[in-house]
Amino acid sequence: MKVLHVYRTCYPETKGGLEQAIRYICKGSGEQGISNTILTLGSENKEYDFEGSRIIVIKKNLEISSNGFSFKLIQRFRQLSKEHDIIHYQYPWPTGDLLSLFAYKKPSLVSYQSDIVKQKLLKKIYQPLEQYFLSRVDRIVASSPQYAQTSENLIKHRNKVDVIPLAIDESTYPEIDDGVVTTWKERVGRGFFLFVGVLRYYKGLQYLVEAAKISGLPVVIAGDGPEREALQDYIKQHELTNVKMVGFISEEDKVALHTLSKAFVFPSHLRSEAFGISLVEAQMFGKPIVSADIGTGSSYVNKNGETGITVPPADGALFAQAMQQLANDDELCQRLGQRARERFNKEFTAKRYADNYIALYHQLTTSS
């Protein structure tokens, strides 16, 4: 069986959460005899093999609102669609929707990662193509039951929606020596509340620093992004010596910070946060989580009272209360962290993820 994956980027070209998800599907299915090709865009034309998958990068000609395009991409996609048995798209990526118009008739599916929330004007222009695309693919995969039940697009096409939660591959995380942990311990201490991620508008980090102001508890924010300056201004204005922003970190640094932390905090307050792969990472490290319940995949990962504590979104005071509850109860932290690790083992391993997609691929080829 040959599967063609289509997305604007891929691992190792870039190393975000979705790129990793595509990587795990290809790696896991490749180990079971499926041949994978990834067609993507980049700064130059190139082709190479990675972890058993064929990666074809087409030079990007232009980009509008993070949506890249190349005329050569259409020609190459049409050729590859003829050679493969299944076409696997990712949403949202309008260029992928456009490419589907040029595909040879083959079984197809799309992994639906998130609704388009912010670009409302462009969404109206794009909507006819989007709806045509979603109506033509054979299956749509949501990343959580919550998203499948609350997304207008997924509700509209509920008769062909499957749910396959995202996952991570523990074997890809580095083992670190004690020196790295010691260096970070000297810099930020231990027993802090950790956030790791891109500092974006929907991450609700203003409520996290407000919670830190209210509670006085130690918080470490790792990552960079558009909200960095606003957060730094708030921290300076309120003299929050208990909040440390450490910027972008390596994978080794991330392991060290999780090792030293008491719990993971995830204050995302808008539906733009469709899942939150960093929550799964925290569970892999056996850490309890404090998160906002926004009714998306993040609410699926962190179960209130089982793997952590959830609070209503956009409420710094309630977030502070939940943090204080964990700070005051080491036994509760240990119990929630243990259950978090158990949930990771059951729901979020890369093997489980790949196996579910393999089963879906077989369904598509046998029913076509």
The domain at 171-347 falls in which architecture? 3-Layer(aba) Sandwich (3.40)
The better pLDDT of the pair 91, 122 is held by 91
Contact 286, 306 (CB under 8 A): no
Do residues 273 and 301 make contact, with C-beta atoms less than 8 angstroms apart? no
Q: What is the architecture, at CATH level 2, of domain 2-169+349-367?
A: 3-Layer(aba) Sandwich (3.40)
pTM given for the model: 0.92
Judged against a pLDDT cut of 70, whether residue 159 lies above it is answered with yes
Q: What is the pLDDT of residue 119?
A: 65
Dihedral sign from CA coordinates of 115, 9, 228, 326: positive
Is the Cβ–Cβ distance between 195 and 219 less than 8 Å?
yes
Closest among 215, 171, 164, 224 to 358, alpha carbons compared = 164
The confidence score (pLDDT) of residue 124 equals 77
What CA–CA distance (Å, rounded) separates 294 from 285? 23
What are the CA-CA distances from residue 218 to residues 230, 251, 253, 258 (Å)? 19, 22, 18, 14
Q: Is the peptide bond before 226 cis (omega within 30 degrees of 0)?
A: no
pLDDT tens track for 179-220: 999 999 999 999 999 999 999 999 999 999 999 999 999 999
231, 205 contact by CB (below 8 A): yes
Tens-digit pLDDT profile for residues 15-46: 888 899 999 999 999 999 999 999 999 999 99
- Rounded to the nearest 5°, which phi and psi values hold at 223? 135, 170
- What are the tens digits of pLDDT across the range 244-275? 999 999 999 999 999 999 999 999 999 889 89
pLDDT the model gives residue 65: 73
The predicted structure's pLDDT at residue 93: 93
- pLDDT at residue 130, rounded to an integer: 94
For 347, the token pair is 């729901």
Q: Which residues lie below 8 Å from residue 150, measured CB to CB, with a gap of 6+?
A: 271, 295, 296
Report domain extents, the chain: 2-169+349-367, 171-347
pLDDT, average across residues 328-337: 98
Q: What is the dihedral of CA 174, 30, 57, 111, to 10 degrees?
A: -90
The DSSP code sequence of 199-243 is --GGG-HHHHHHHHHHH---EEEE--STTHHHHHHHHHHTT-TTE
Q: How confident is the model at residue 121 (pLDDT cuts 50, 70, 90)?
A: low
Tokens representing 353? 């993820």
- Position 66 scores a pLDDT of 74
pLDDT of residue 16: 81
Q: Which residue, among 352, 350, 349, has the nearest Cα to 341 in the 3D structure?
A: 349
Q: In what order do the strands lie in the sheet with 219-222?
A: 243-247, 219-222, 193-196, 263-266, 289-292, 308-311
Under DSSP, the state recorded for 158 is G
Classify burial at 93, counting beta carbons within 10 Å of its beta carbon; exposed 0-12, middle 13-18, buried 19 or more. Answer: buried
Same fold flag, 2-169+349-367 and 171-347:
yes
- Would you list the DSSP string of 310-358? EE-SS-HHHHHHHHHHHHT-HHHHHHHHHHHHHHHHHH-BHHHHHHHHH
Residue 175 DSSP one-character state: P
Confidence of residue 361 (pLDDT cuts 50, 70, 90): very high
Helix, strand, coil abundance in the chain, percent, nearest 5: 45, 20, 30
| Distance between first and last Cα of the chain | 14
Tokens of 197: 């991620």
Q: Nearest 5°: phi and psi at 53?
A: -105, 150
Average pLDDT over the chain reads 95
pLDDT tens per residue across span 267-325:
999 988 989 999 999 999 999 999 999 999 999 999 999 999 999 999 999 999 999 99
pLDDT of 50-73, one tens digit each?
999 999 999 999 887 778 889 899
Residue type, 322: A
CA atoms 211, 247, 241, 234: torsion sign: negative
Q: What pLDDT is stored for residue 120 in this prediction?
A: 64
pLDDT at 10: 95
- pLDDT exceeding 90 applies to what percent of the chain? 90
